[in-house]
Amino acid sequence: MSSVESHSLNAGELVPVEALLPGDPITDVNGGGQHYKVLESKCVCDGCVVLELESKANDRFRVIEMSFPSGYEVGRSHLRHW
């Protein structure tokens, strides 16, 4: 486990992606520890959750869409800079 992932795990509890709400700050603890803000969450067929996420890097915002299997857990982020 990297130091980024270890720090993220200590920063907050793990929650399943299907429980996320718009505005929630999260960390993908299994995917490199990147911090995101949830913009939208959609449960789609076949047990998949699609998240529209906002990230900030180098003082620039980026919006991405990612899909996760139901039950995938992310961490609640301590960063609230949005």
8-26 pLDDT, tens digit per residue, is 344 468 999 999 999 999 9
Residue 4: pLDDT over 60: no
Q: Considering its fold, how many domains does the chain have in total?
A: 1
Q: Any residues with CB less than 8 A from the CB of 3 and at least 6 apart, and which?
A: none
d(CA 23, CA 38): 5
In a domain, residue 11? The reply is yes
In a domain, residue 81? The reply is no
* Interstrand relation of 60-69 and 73-76 (parallel, antiparallel or unpaired): unpaired
In a domain, residue 49? The reply is yes
For position 17, which CATH number holds? 2.30.30.30
The domain of 35 spans 3-76
Place of tokens 């720090």: 7
The 3-state DSSP class for residue 5 equals helix
d(CA 75, CA 38): 12
d(CA 76, CA 10): 10
What is the value of pTM for the model shown? Answer: 0.76
In a domain, residue 66? The reply is yes
